[in-house]
């Protein structure tokens, strides 16, 4: 099969013929329909995240079941996969916090393997290729069955891939961390793939005021079409004072930070009201730190909440139900489509910040 293989830090990805993977117990073999292109992939390519090479990236996947076992999935089913692939048996999975699955972190995120300690990907000479999540930038992928969910009828197979990371991450941030209530106010800093989904989901949860902050007018126009009531161009104005002005000087109930930059974390802290919450969603390099004005943080009673993905077996069925009912539209997040041989073009556009919403690879 063809796959996009990262061989060295800095890239580019090479399109190569590698062996078609085979699933083991409680795993599914998918014929990949589409794979989203995410900043997490860029972080790995740039060496911000330590990971073994060579590797196949791609963790936002939809496809057709080819074979495997688990959860009554059968050949020919249209499915979407989740970025977090819960093992189902560690302390966190058993306690209902699959977003913190330690097996996923220790085996897959650190070593690029599945939960028997081996990869499913090999080159034509039998040498191992490591897996970032399921390694979805390929024609086929093996996925633990706990991370595979059947798509409702009538939902576009390719566009639905974005639900597995951008959609699920946004849903987890709004539901599990912010616990956003009707009529509350929110600011979303960064209106890209995840941020645009947070805007949609905040609207679904009934937020009364949704403020989008970005540095591009085209992204802010798209944010308004998704449900933002106000927009702020951070390249033209001092954003935190403008957000305070839009909220009668008080600040928002919840600030979502989706870019992973120290300056935008500080912006989020300065946008939130006393007693409010900052939900940190954006990833950065492992060495990035954020200076915090402790007195302001303490005196205002601000809560800082980390949010990594969501809880697949609890949250993905709820997210898919919103899509099935037409309340949430995955298609609106997808603005650019590439084929697998154009994967480096997709990554370059993402790195330049020119992608509105999400770009996907169609296989």
3-class SS of residue 269: helix
CA dist 37 and 45 (Å) reads 12
CA dist 257 and 64 (Å) reads 34
CA dist 204 and 325 (Å) reads 12
Torsion, Cα of 259, 264, 270, 274 (10° steps): 30
CA dist 78 and 96 (Å) reads 26
Q: How far is CA 362 from CA 35, 40, 83, 156, in A?
A: 7, 19, 18, 12
CATH of the domain at 107: 3.90.180.10
Tokens of 177: 């961390």
176 in the same domain as 161: no
Question: Which residue has 């890239």 as its token pair?
Answer: 11
282 in the same domain as 255: yes
Our count of domains for the chain comes to 2
CA dist 59 and 82 (Å) reads 7
User: Structure pTM?
Assistant: 0.95
Per-residue model confidence (pLDDT) at position 70: 63
CA dist 304 and 111 (Å) reads 29
CA dist 144 and 222 (Å) reads 35
What length is written for the chain? 363
CA dist 228 and 199 (Å) reads 6
111 in the same domain as 212: no
CA dist 140 and 26 (Å) reads 17
CA dist 43 and 9 (Å) reads 10
147 in the same domain as 6: yes
H helix or E strand, kind and range, residue 16: strand 13-17
For residue 123, the enclosing domain spans 2-165+310-362
- The angle formed by the CA atoms of residues 155, 158 and 163, to the nearest 5 degrees, is 70
Per-residue model confidence (pLDDT) at position 23: 96
Among residues 363, 360, 362, the alpha carbon closest in space to that of 167 is found at 360
Per-residue model confidence (pLDDT) at position 288: 85
3-class SS of residue 39: helix
CATH of the domain at 251: 3.40.50.720
CB neighbours (10 Å) of residue 332? 17
Of the candidates 275, 306, 337, which is a domain's last residue? 306
281 in the same domain as 323: no
CA dist 82 and 62 (Å) reads 9
Per-residue model confidence (pLDDT) at position 294: 84
Among residues 180, 216, 181, 176, the alpha carbon closest in space to that of 196 is found at 216
Q: How far is CA 199 from CA 105, 130, 158, 229, 258, in A?
A: 28, 34, 22, 10, 11
288 in the same domain as 147: no
10-residue mean pLDDT profile of the chain (363 residues): values are: 97 97 95 96 92 97 89 90 97 96 97 97 97 98 96 93 96 96 96 94 96 96 96 95 96 96 92 96 85 85 94 97 92 93 97 92 96
Q: How far from the centroid of its chain's Cα atoms is residue 217's Cα? A: 23
Number of H helices and E strands in the chain, helices first, is 12, 18
16 in the same domain as 130: yes
- The angle formed by the CA atoms of residues 249, 253 and 254, to the nearest 5 degrees, is 120
Tokens of 27: 């795993």
18 in the same domain as 158: yes
334 in the same domain as 272: no
């Amino acid at each position: 099969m063809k796959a996009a293989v990262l061989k060295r830090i800095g890239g580019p990805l090479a399109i190569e013929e590698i062996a078609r993977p085979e699933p083991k117990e409680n795993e599914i073999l998918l014929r990949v329909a589409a794979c989203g292109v995410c900043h997490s992939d860029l972080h790995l390519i740039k060496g911000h995240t330590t990971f073994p090479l060579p590797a196949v990236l791609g963790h936002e996947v939809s496809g057709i079941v080819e074979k495997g076992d688990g959860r009554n999935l059968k050949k020919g089913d249209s499915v979407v996969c989740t970025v977090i692939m819960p093992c189902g048996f560690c302390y966190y999975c058993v306690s209902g916090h699959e977003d913190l699955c330690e097996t996923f972190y220790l085996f897959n995120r650190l070593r690029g393997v599945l939960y028997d300690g081996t990869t499913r990907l090999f080159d034509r000479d039998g040498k191992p290729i490591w897996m970032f999540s399921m390694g979805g930038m390929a024609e086929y992928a093996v996925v633990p069955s706990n991370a595979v969910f059947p798509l409702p009828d009538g939902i576009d197979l390719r566009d639905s891939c974005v639900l597995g990371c951008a959609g699920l991450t946004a849903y987890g941030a709004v539901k599990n961390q912010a616990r956003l209530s009707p009529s509350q106010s929110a600011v979303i800093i960064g209106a890209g793939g995840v941020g645009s989904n947070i805007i949609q989901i905040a609207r679904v949860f009934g937020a009364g005021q949704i403020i989008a902050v970005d540095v591009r007018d085209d992204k802010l126009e798209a944010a308004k079409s998704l449900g933002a009531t106000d927009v702020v161009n951070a390249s033209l104005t001092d954003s935190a004072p403008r957000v305070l002005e839009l909220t009668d000087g008080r600040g928002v109930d919840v600030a979502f930070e989706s870019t992973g930059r120290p300056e935008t974390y500080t912006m989020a802290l300065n946008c939130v009201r006393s007693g409010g919450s900052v939900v940190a969603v954006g990833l950065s390099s492992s060495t990035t730190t954020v200076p915090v004005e402790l007195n302001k943080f303490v005196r205002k009673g601000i809560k800082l909440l980390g949010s990594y993905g969501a809880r697949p077996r609890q949250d993905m069925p709820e997210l898919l139900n919103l899509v099935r009912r037409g309340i949430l539209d995955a298609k609106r997040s997808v603005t650019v489509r590439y084929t697998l041989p154009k994967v480096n073009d997709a990554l370059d556009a993402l790195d330049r910040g020119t992608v509105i919403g999400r770009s996907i690879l169609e296989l």
